[in-house]
Amino acid sequence: MTKMFTFILLTFGVLLSVHTETLAAKKAPSKKVLFLAGGPSHGPGKHEHNAGCLILSKALNESGLGFSSSVVSKWPEDVSSFDDVDAVVVFADAGGKYKEEQLQVLDKRIKAGMGIMFIHYGVHPSKEVGQKYFTPWIGGYFETGWSVNPHWTANLKPKKKHPVGRGVKKSVLVNDEFYYNMRYPTKEECSDCYPLVTSPLTPERLTHYNNLWNKPGDDLFGKDVTLMWCRDTENQGRGVGFTGGHFHHNWAIDGFRTLALNAIVWIAGSEVPKKGVKSAPISDEQLNKNIDGELKKPLTQPTTKMINSMPPMLRPEKPEAYNQRAHYDLIKKMKAEAETK
């Protein structure tokens, strides 16, 4: 009888605990995230700002973490739209190309505690805007002549024991136009700026040299480079920069998507779950929704085999005097010569 009574008490206690947690979750204030999506720019399947934001927004809203997010394709007409926002995510070309008064709107909110994240081309403002706003907000930015923008296969490694890496394997294999060698402040200038995701960089994994290749980028072969970083300070909202996002199909890679979602939850001031932000798998059908323009071929989720089979591009001999057209012409010439042999 005593054992039965004990069992009933334990069962009641568990049910009461679950009920209490459910009520607390329902009463918990929701976090609001605003995605600022840029317009079309690179052709279907690339720089899919709106479609990418919609995928991340939907995942947040369905995460069960009390998030309410929305996507807008242009700067809100009423700046009061930012007043109750916990985090803004900018996925747009050239840092959003915002005017000074718009940057000041963001600056005021960030200083008041709003988090901010820039994705892919979003981390590449003008040098002046980068120095004045991006460094204080997120701790770094893409600087033309210093940073580089090749396509390459990275093994994304999240910072150990950091919330952004929760639920993510030791590394995530992704081929993207991962910018690297951002213009970062020194430790003395920003003690609360640090890398969140890094990857080893080797020439064998570089599949496409783009227009901004240079010697500083070439000098980093054989080292780990930073692909996601942050500024984490108590004096304002958290800020994150992430250089991935060129190829839309990469959002279907679970670890890639989870890193972005974890970062958004973190800058919004919420606790990232121990197993990371859970989201439903992205089907090929979902990948092909909301695309800007007509695709020549439907998008599919990249597989490990597909990524590993991508051949490296010929490495430029003189990165300090790199000329993209001349380099591509050389590759065509070498290919033609090989075919005639």
pLDDT tens for residues 177-217? 999 999 999 999 999 999 999 999 999 999 999 999 999 99
Best CA proximity match to 89, nearest among 128, 62, 50, 63: 50
Do 11 and 22 form a contact (C-beta atoms < 8 A)? no
Q: Where are the beta strands (DSSP E) in the chain?
A: 31-37, 67-72, 87-91, 115-119, 151-158, 172-176, 193-200, 206-208, 224-231, 239-242
**pLDDT value at position 7?**
43
Q: What's the chain's average pLDDT?
A: 92
Residues in the chain: 341
SS3 247: strand
Positive or negative, the CA dihedral 197, 200, 206, 211 is: positive
**pLDDT value at position 19?**
47
Region 44-55: mean pLDDT is: 98
Of the pLDDT bands very low, low, confident and very high (cuts 50, 70, 90), residue 28 is low
User: Which residues partner with 242 through β-bridges?
Assistant: 119, 228
Check whether 5 has a pLDDT greater than 80: no
Best CA proximity match to 110, nearest among 261, 274, 289, 233: 233
Region 274-290: mean pLDDT is: 96
Region 306-311: mean pLDDT is: 97
Burial (CB count within 10 angstroms: exposed 0-12, middle 13-18, buried 19+), residue 210: middle
Do 175 and 307 form a contact (C-beta atoms < 8 A)? yes
Positive or negative, the CA dihedral 92, 193, 239, 244 is: positive
Check whether 262 has a pLDDT greater than 80: yes
d(CA 282, CA 257): 10
**Least confident range of 26-30, 110-114, 239-243:** 26-30
Check whether 11 has a pLDDT greater than 90: no
Burial (CB count within 10 angstroms: exposed 0-12, middle 13-18, buried 19+), residue 189: exposed
d(CA 199, CA 207): 15
Out of 9-13, 14-18, 323-327, the most confident range is: 323-327
Give percent of the chain above pLDDT 70.
91
d(CA 103, CA 298): 37
φ and ψ at residue 67, rounded to 5 degrees:
-95, 145
**pLDDT value at position 3?**
52
Region 219-247: mean pLDDT is: 97
**pLDDT value at position 9?**
45
pLDDT tens for residues 117-167? 999 999 999 999 999 999 999 999 999 999 999 999 999 999 999 999 999
Region 262-271: mean pLDDT is: 98
In whole angstroms, how far apart are CA 172 and each of 46, 165, 264, 298, 306? 20, 11, 18, 24, 14
**pLDDT value at position 29?**
57
d(CA 237, CA 296): 42
**pLDDT value at position 21?**
42
Best CA proximity match to 260, nearest among 119, 62, 157: 119
Best CA proximity match to 33, nearest among 245, 237, 244: 237
Of the pLDDT bands very low, low, confident and very high (cuts 50, 70, 90), residue 91 is very high
Residue type, 123: V
φ and ψ at residue 169, rounded to 5 degrees:
-65, 175
**How are beta strands 115-119 and 87-91 bridged, if at all?**
parallel
Of the pLDDT bands very low, low, confident and very high (cuts 50, 70, 90), residue 229 is very high
